[in-house]
Amino acid sequence: MKYKSVFDIIGPIMVGPSSSHTAGAARIGRVARKLFGRMPLRAEIVFYGSFAKTYQGHGSDVATVAGILDFDTSDLRLKNSLVIAEKAGMQVELSTSDVLTEHPNTARIKLSDDEHQIEIVGVSIGGGKIEVLEVNGFSFQLGFDTPTLLVLHEDRFGMIAAVAKVLTQHNINVGFMEVSRHTRGSRALMAIETDSTISPEVLEEIRQIPHIFDVSLLALN
What pTM, to 2 d.p., does this model score?
Answer: 0.86
Domains of the chain: 6-142 (3.30.1330.90), 148-218 (3.30.70.260)
Cα–Cα nearest to 171, from 199, 135, 130: 199
**Helix 159-169 and helix 200-207, axial crossing angle in degrees, nearest 10:** 150
Q: What is the pLDDT of residues 105-161, one digit of tens each?
A: 999 999 999 999 999 999 999 888 899 999 999 999 999 989 999 999 999 999 999
**pLDDT over 60 at 185, yes or no:** yes
**Helix 24-36 and helix 60-68, axial crossing angle in degrees, nearest 10:** 30
| CA pair distance 64, 170, nearest whole angstrom | 36
How far apart, in Å, are the Cα atoms of 70 and each of 37, 40, 77, 173, 180? 10, 11, 11, 28, 27
DSSP secondary structure letters along 120-174: EEEEEEETTEEEEEEETTEEEEE--SS-EEEEEEE--TTHHHHHHHHHHHTTPPE
209: number of Cβ within 10 Å: 16
**pLDDT over 90 at 86, yes or no:** yes
Q: What is the mean pLDDT of the chain?
A: 90
- The one-character DSSP state at 22 is I
| CA pair distance 99, 154, nearest whole angstrom | 33
> 35: part of which helix (H) or strand (E)?
helix 24-36
Confidence of residue 56 (pLDDT cuts 50, 70, 90): confident
